[in-house]
Structure 1
């Protein structure tokens, strides 16, 4: 079985300028999902392939690794996360062919994301794209301290993913398109967990200590910015027709929500001077219709009454 996996890995990472063959990826996934089989040897083969000077070989090796992260047993990413270092491709440049310059940029961005994906697993001890979602899911039931630790990790992973930044014309290349499809799948699952965690955090907001409120408010502001970037990323997927039916529609949250959070923090800090940046027109899944007034108890009651049920049912891609 190990020999077959080695052959499949080599076949998936040839110098032929096309995405890794589905059969080879299926064989490797089957190998990974055989729980008694070691993944270290396979990881070594793919890691060695990323040391090639050919952008085609390196890119296909990265796509193969990502495919196994998404579709393989979790022990594969667990093994990668345990490695001292993964991909050191931040200076990669293939000068041998004209296309190598543009493709090298994508390789540097893509390898950074895969590194961040592995690092995130090491930091929070799970693959956040595969955690259970919904009312009984992981992010909905985290306590405040763990949320404040986990959400920044998700933000960093999402930042690395969105930095891939391919436009529709660049997705005509089969290898870039294969990477983008995997990134799209990750983005939907990652954002679903991100959104659920943010809902949980905001639900706890009016019972937090001042320092936690300040940190949560900053996290929410960053959430708005990343949601806007994700909207642009999803628009590219729609334009090229990739998984169009699974792409969610992100509804808009009013400025009054951010103002309410600022208002509560200001009351804790005994400050009265703050402005709601209503000029920011970000699209988010959280939708709160009105600004609460009164003391913290009244604002907490308002938030509970207007917690966005629609966001809980939002289609954010396959589980």
Structure 2
């Protein structure tokens, strides 16, 4: 009799489980984002693309972790440069990394192009406005430094890098330095200055990045490989921003620098787009995941792939536009 009494509740519990059927899958644990951004990209050797994506809450705080799922691409189109020839390619998307962040204090070295062409490509100094918005988002112990390159007035011991403000958390000092750096009147020693930026930033520890803006072709490419090697050896990511027409930029070299160091490349077609480019770089440095796109037929150099990537982070549906220059 006692055994029958003990078995009755167990039998009832099993019956209830059987009636409820399979349990619905639960969304991954973690904060719920409100929106997403595509921060930049790199083009791989096989012409696939890794989009760098972030998720943000309603206060524009970047999530430092999150699970990406349910990825699709809509409105995909290929354009052939300025010819505007459109095609609807077949694009498959997959996850190449959930959202993660780099530990340690954030240290960002901002490197602005001060070559003479900036007077034409950015006469209103939108690059200063964009860099200041980047600085304004720093918080806590996060610090930045402001530098430029023009081929003149380098700061010893450097030969191409001008340091306008050493690392500090003082946003007022950093913004004043940006105004000082946003000049035009020299050449484009891009890779020489980038290598020296790496030397400058790598004296710090933590989450170290270089944010490099240029509007033209470098004076030469002899220092491209050494700049990349120095950044890789230091564990420092390079985030490259090109301003203007892709025809005037060393797009492939800049993408190579970003791809090999774990950073991103972003193209700002005009000065007004710099806020978006710098905002994407900031998001990427705080927390980001990876979505891989494979396009058939494979795009060729000069083509631009655009569309919208849709995905979920911690179960919340998000979407963001993207544009990739091959």
TM-score when normalising by structure 1: 0.28
Which protein is richer in strand relative to its size? 2
Structure (1 or 2) with the larger CA radius of gyration: 2
TM-score when normalising by structure 2: 0.27
